[in-house]
Homo-oligomer: A and B are copies of this chain.
Amino acid sequence: MRIKIGILGYGNLGRGVECAVKENADMELVAVFTRRNPADVKIATTGVPVVKADEAADWKDKIDVLILCGGSATDLPEQTPAFAKLFNVVDSFDTHARIPEHFAHVDAAAREAGHIGIISVGWDPGLFSLARAYSNAILPDGKDYTFWGKGVSQGHSDAIRRIAGVKNAKQYTVPVESALDAVRSGRNPELTTRQKHTRECFVVLEDGADAAKVEQEIKNMPNYFADYDTTVHFISEEELQRNHSGLAHGGFVIRSGQTGHEKEHKHIIEFSLKLDSNPEFTTSVLIAYARAAYRLSNEGQKGCRTVLDIAPSYLSAQSGEELRAHLL
């Protein structure tokens, strides 16, 4: 009996889930739910029905875990508690500051309905949270560092596109190599925003726009760019499409701590990711936690969980015996 997976929302994440399910022999995709007209949604896997989101209740007994592929700004705060009433759910809610509130809403809904809801799954929050939690528990006396990139920041790209005269733009967040090296040396440096990351922008101008003026507007934009060393390249739309349409990303979580009666021994714990496709990797994490949701629910557990609450063995298709024999 394979784990029956449903998808809500067929964008980059939804397509990633569809692809990731195929890598996991113990799972099958049974339906894609959408708020669009189902006839307009062409999915890659033949034979899987595309269903209106508001007809999801009809699928209550046909789906083991629903993976929510909407955005954190407006979709998930509504959808995750709502759908936790019908299904076990997994989401990738990534607005760090609002996690406690989201947790409370999902927990109430999932508990009442007897379901499991796993929130904030992906790589940050997600695998990076795991790296922070494990390394803080092991080295209580230390300092955390998180670096992101090199990768596209959607929010920063959008901010550039809102400037008058800009037709299109992509912004890369780039970790500063010398800052990474300083952290790895165990010197526990205090790093300013500017010292940790640079920002590199590829911008397509509207006809007749003033390049110098756009460049100044970008570089001086508060919060987004003013605190960073920012580079602006003006390129053609064709070059943007050819060289900057990828979705690569990654980052580093480093804890630098010390032990010993005189704190004389330094230790560095480092976790890093280098990803060709941010959405496909994120959905690979979602799928592993969908397996956990299925198992927790089968044990009779209910309520909201995060990656910090779930033992690693729940994520694996292998049995405890196999894991102990081959991976421990």
Interface flags, A212-225, vs B, CB<8A=1, else 0: 00000000000000
* Bound-state Cα–Cα, A261 to B44, Å: 9
Chain B nearest CB from A4 CB (Å) reads 19
Q: In the complex the two chains form, is A138's CB within 8 Å of B284's CB?
A: yes
List the B side residues contacting A272 at CB < 8 Å: 268-270, 272
| Copies of this chain, count | 2
Q: In the complex the two chains form, is B261's CB within 8 Å of A277's CB?
A: no
Does A191 make an interface contact (CB < 8 A)?
no
List the B side residues contacting A141 at CB < 8 Å: 23
CB-CB nearest in chain B for A22:
B261
Does A316 make an interface contact (CB < 8 A)?
yes
CB-contact partner of A134 in B99, B127, B140, B276, under 8 A:
B127
Does A143 make an interface contact (CB < 8 A)?
no
List the B side residues contacting A130 at CB < 8 Å: 134, 312
Which candidate, A66-74, A75-83, A320-328, is the interface stretch facing chain B?
A: A320-328
Which of A138, A141, A313 counts the most B-chain CB atoms under 10 A from its CB? A138
Which candidate, A167-175, A197-205, A303-311, is the interface stretch facing chain B?
A: A303-311
6 further A-B pairs in the complex, CB-CB below 8 A; given A99-B328, A259-B284: A100-B325, A120-B328, A137-B312, A140-B317, A266-B276, A308-B312
